[in-house]
Structure 1
Amino acid sequence: MNPNPIPVAPRPIPVDMMSPTRWIELGWDDLRANPLPGLIHGFALAVIGWILLWVARDRFWLLAGAFSGFLIVAPVLATGLYHISRERAAGRLADLGDVVALWRSFDGRLVRFGLLLGLAGTGWVLTSAGLITLWSPVPIHKPADFLRHVVLAREVGLFEAWLVLGALLAAPVFASSVVAIPMLVDKGVPVSMAVSASWRAVADHPGPLVWWAVLIAMLVGLGMITGLLGLIGVIPLIAHASWHAYRDLTAPTSPVPVSAH
């Protein structure tokens, strides 16, 4: 008998407003139990962020959209961590070799979904750049320019429009992917079925999933204001928590009959 058995995740429970914080706690447990794959994923995504900062360092009108677009695609880049959480839930310990094997499989469904998210991200980059360039009264080159002339501008309009447009794009992307990406890792279903299940979960649990989206945004914001260093821990935490969100959101809602004694 194994003296240190891997804990098996509890059965999914009904989703309510407390569920998102519970998903974070379960994700933290997964990260602590098997930290190396998550930290490598987080570091890789932080490096991508630093590259974006360097490439667009003098074109902040482009950088704002590029970072937003990068965050749209990031969930697909963390699919290996959903596999880590799935294996732990089944009582098995996955390692980096298992994650590499998942990526080397070149699952066409994940590739197609990633391309769709990439198109959405590109669309937002272009929209954001065009909006800031055309509407801003002065050229926006550096983060300080964006803060001074867009975020803190006395005139109401540009920053609010930028936020609204970003939310209009982010909402359907979130609704399409919150369940779909973990489901594509977990089951051999087509992309259309996974996306439909994701939208159905949002329709069934709008309050908890709005709160979940807010929590994700807060964690990502925390990771970004630390010079992207915080993303090294935030990215795997969100990815592992997203697996537990998927489990709860797709759990059967019908009561389980209790056998008589």
Structure 2
Amino acid sequence: MSPSNLPPPPPLAPRTRRGALALPGIRNIGMAQPLDWLARGARDMRRGGWLSLLHGLVPAAFGGLLVLLARDRFWLLAGAFSGFLVVAPVLATSLYAISRAIERGEPVNLRLIVNTWTRWQFSRYAARGGYWSMVRFGLLLALAGTGWVLTSAALITLLAPEPVNSPLDFLRHIVLAPGHYVFELWLTMGGLMAAPIFASSVIAMPLLLDRRVDVLQAVLTSWQAVLTNPLPLVLWAALIMVLTLLGLGTLLLGLVVVLPLLGHASWHAYRDLVDASALPERLPPEGAA
């Protein structure tokens, strides 16, 4: 089909008469629902097989390389690994696609992964509400992650009572240092930066993948989900943090399982929290599926 004969794009989500963005409905969920997301995520990970585990193996290998290259600059490692949590929702995009395919009874294969990461390039209508929305959101998260890496590095370098060059130095001079509050300050600043990022991204990437919305709609919907269900999503944030720390604490080997588990579970979080039935689907471009 030639470009001139392509059908018009499906409409974006409607706006109200005052010009405000019309957001999808948000469902109320139970306090224990995040545990169900993990259970369903584990089921999808088993069905995704090696393709799911690959999403954990590659970041774990990259983390190992980072440790090898920056083993004497722990201030950089601390910021880099915590910054990784910021951009993780973007890296999990193809895990959302796997879960969606399983949900729809569609085949899960390498072509699905490749198309998820490349087909936005061929979207004629990518300028508004298209695949570039996902790219723009990813860039915003990457900027936020870079900002935290620089902030973390500056805090540890400038305020630590002794040079921090290893995990043991971090434990001794930052976490357990008597009379100093660098660790508390580091945690507080990290929390202040992480909370709005979590609220902006908890369901934004799955929504951008699944429906033709723009970045602002996705972010506002994500905030609305958090404000509607604050306690369950606080639990969800805590589970993400604990499982990620377990993955890091097992010499990064646990990340091979933890990252795909959280990615698949995040898809089910989106499906339970958001009623997106009134929004147009984001269909693959002609010939790209």
Same fold (TM over 0.5): yes
Mark the runs of 5 or more structure 2 residues left unpaired by the alignment.
Answer: 1-25, 121-130, 277-289
Equivalent of residue 192 in structure 1, options 202, 213, 216: 216
The one-letter amino acid paired with 1:121 is G
Q: Which residue of 5, 15, 34 maps to 2:48?
A: 34
Letter in 1 for 2:162: V
Q: 1:56, 1:63 within 8 Å by CA — same for their partners in 2? A: yes
- 1:157 aligns with 181
CA–CA separation in structure 2 for the residues paired with 1:232 and 1:13? 32
Say which of 70, 77, 82 aligns to 1:56.
70
Match of 2:58?
Answer: 44
Q: Alignment partner of 1:105: what SS?
A: helix
- 1:1-261 matched pairs, under 5 angstroms: 14-106=28-120, 107-251=131-275
Q: CA deviation at 1:46?
A: 0.6
Amino acid corresponding to residue 94 of structure 2 in structure 1: G
Q: Separation in 2 of the partners of 1:36 and 1:192?
A: 34
List per-residue Cα deviations over 1:146-205 (Å, max 9, x = no partner).
Answer: 011101111241000000000111111110000101001111110110001000000000
Contact 1:52 1:67 in 2 (8 A): no
Distance 1:93 1:204 in 2: 35
- Letter in structure 1 aligned against 2:60: A
Q: Letter of the aligned partner of 2:159 in structure 1?
A: W
Deviations 1:82-114 (A, max 9, x none): 011011111223212111111112431111111
Structure 1 residue ranges, 4+ long, deviating more than 6 angstroms after superposition = none
The CA distance in 1 between the partners of 2:181 and 2:27, in whole Å, is 43
Counterpart Cα distance in 1 of 2:179 and 2:274: 45
Q: Please report the RMSD computed on the Cα atoms of aligned residues, expressed in angstroms.
A: 1.4
Shift of 1:71: 1.9
**Aligned partner letter, 1:18:** A
Contact 1:70 1:121 in 2 (8 A): yes
TM-score, length of structure 1 as denominator length? 0.89
Unaligned runs of 5+ in 1: 1-11, 253-261
TM-score where L is the length of structure 2: 0.81
How many equivalent pairs are there? 241
Deviates more, 1:212-221 or 1:43-52: 43-52
Paired amino acid for 1:46:
A
**What whole-Å deviation, never above 9, does each CA across 1:56-85 have from its counterpart, x for those lacking one?**
210111110011112211220110010110
- State the shift of 1:137 in Å: 1.0
Q: Give the aligned residue type for 2:172.
A: R
User: Could you tell me how far apart the structure 2 residues matched to 1:124 and 1:200 are?
Assistant: 25
Q: Which amino acid aligns with 1:113?
A: F
| Residue pair 2:199, 2:223 contacting (<8 A) in 1 also | yes
